[in-house]
Amino acid sequence: MYQYHLKIFIENEKVVKNMFKELEEIEKEYQDLNQQLSNPKVIADQERFQKLAKRHSEIAKTVQLYHKYKDIEKEIEESSQLKKGENNSEMTEMIEEEINSLTPQREKIKKELNELLYPEDPRNKKDIIVEIRAGAGGDEAALFVGDMFRMYSRFAERNHWKVEIINSNITEIGGFKEIIFGISGQNVFGTLKQESGVHRVQRIPVTESGGRIHTSTVTVAILPEAEEIEMEINSNDIKIDRFRSTGPGGQSVNTTDSAVRVTHLPTGIVVTCQDEKSQHKNKDKALKVLRARLLDRLQREQNQKIDKQRKKQVGTGDRSERIRTYNFPQNRVTDHRINKNFHNLEEMLDGNLDDIVASFEESQ
C-alpha cells in the first residue's frame, strides 16, 4: 500500500513539473512576442502582425495567471523564511496566518492553470456510437463480440443510459461478426472513450474438445455522435443502395427492400443498416453512423498535428493497438496501457467497469 501511494505521489510530481516547464516555455514565448509586436518591420507586415497578435492574446491570460502564482509563491517563501528567524510568538502566529491564507490561493491558481493548459475534451458529454467487430479467431471471436456487447449494455444499464442497436451481423452459432449500437446518457463519451482498440480474449472455446486455450481478438471503436450542424454531408458525396435484409445463412428477414447501404464517395466509408423494418429509419441510422465516422476521422487527423506534450491521456487511442487482454483461466483482465491487472473478469463482463474507468481517470 505504501509503495502504491509513493508511486502515485511520484507520478503527480512529474505531472506538476511538466506543467511548470510548459508554463516557463509559454512565458518565454510571450516575452518574445512582446518584442516582435513592437518591431517596426513586423508592424509593417500586417499579415504577420495579426498572426502574432492573435497568439499573444491566446496565451496572455495564462501568463498573467502564472505571474500571479509566482508572486504568491514568493510571498509564501519569504514568510516561511521570516518565520524561521522569528522568536516572538505573537509575530510567528501572524506569519502563520499569512501563510495559511496564501496557500489556498496558490492551490486555486494552480488548478486554474492546469485547466487552461489541459482543457476538458468538449466531446466528453456526447452520446456515442459503438462498433464491435470480430478479428482473429473465427467463431470464438464472434462469440466474444457478443460478450463485449453484453458488457457495455450492462454497464450502460448500471449508469441509467439508453442502448439502441443500429446494425448487427449475427453468426450461425449466436455471436456477431459485427454489431453497431448507440449509447445515450450523461457524459458517455468521457466515460468510455478509452475503450477504443483491440481487445484480446484467452479461453477454452465451447467447440474445443481438447481443452486447449484459444486466443482471439475483437476491435472496439467508440465514436462521439456528431450532430448534423457539426458534420454536414453533401448529398452529392453519398451513394445510397437499398436491398433486402438478410439474417444468418442468407435467410430472408422480411419481404421488402428496407436495408440501406450508404457509401461516402470522397472517403470510401461504407455504412450498412438493416435492423429496422422501415427503410427511412435505416437510412437515418446509417447517416448517423456515417457522420460519427467522418467526425472521428477528422478528429484523428487533427490529433496527429498536436504536440506530444499536450497529450496527457494514457496511450494514443490508435485502434491498431492491443489495449486489453481477458484471460479466463487466470480470471484476469490486463489493461496494457496503464499496465494494471484486474482479478474480477466475470464481474467486468457483467458490466462492472467502475474499477477500470476509475484507474484511467487517476492516470490522466
Q: What is the pLDDT of residue 211?
A: 72
Average pLDDT for residues 122-136, to the nearest whole number? Answer: 89
- Reading the block at residue 96, the C-alpha cell is 502563520
Answer whether residue 130 shows pLDDT above 90. yes
Residues 88-122: pLDDT tens digits?
778 888 888 888 888 899 988 988 888 888 777 77
Average pLDDT for residues 149-171, to the nearest whole number? Answer: 92
Helix, strand, coil tally for the chain in percent (to 5): 50, 20, 25
Distance CA 178, CA 309 (A): 36
For 103-161, strand residue ranges (E) read 128-134
Average pLDDT for residues 216-238, to the nearest whole number? Answer: 81
CA-to-CA dists, residue 334 to 145, 150, 221, 244, 331, angstroms: 18, 19, 19, 42, 10
Answer whether residue 6 shows pLDDT above 60. no
CA-to-CA dists, residue 161 to 123, 127, 154, 349, 357, angstroms: 17, 10, 10, 17, 16
Residues 329-349: pLDDT tens digits?
999 999 998 889 999 999 999
**Residues whose CB falls within 8 Å of the CB of residue 316, separated by 6 or more in sequence, listed in order:** none
Who wins on pLDDT, 85 or 110?
110
Residues 241-292: pLDDT tens digits?
887 766 544 444 455 567 888 888 888 888 888 877 778 888 888 888 888 8
Per-residue pLDDT band at 151 (split at 50, 70, 90): very high
With b for 16 or more beta-carbon neighbours within 10 A and e for fewer, the 132-160 pattern comes to: bbbbebebbbbbbbbbbbebbbbbbeebe
CA nearest to 256, candidates 267, 243, 265: 243
Q: What is the pLDDT of residue 321?
A: 62
Residues 203-224: pLDDT tens digits?
988 766 667 888 899 999 998 8
Q: For residue 170, what is the enclosing H or E element?
A: strand 162-170
- The pTM for the full model equals 0.60
Who wins on pLDDT, 327 or 210?
327
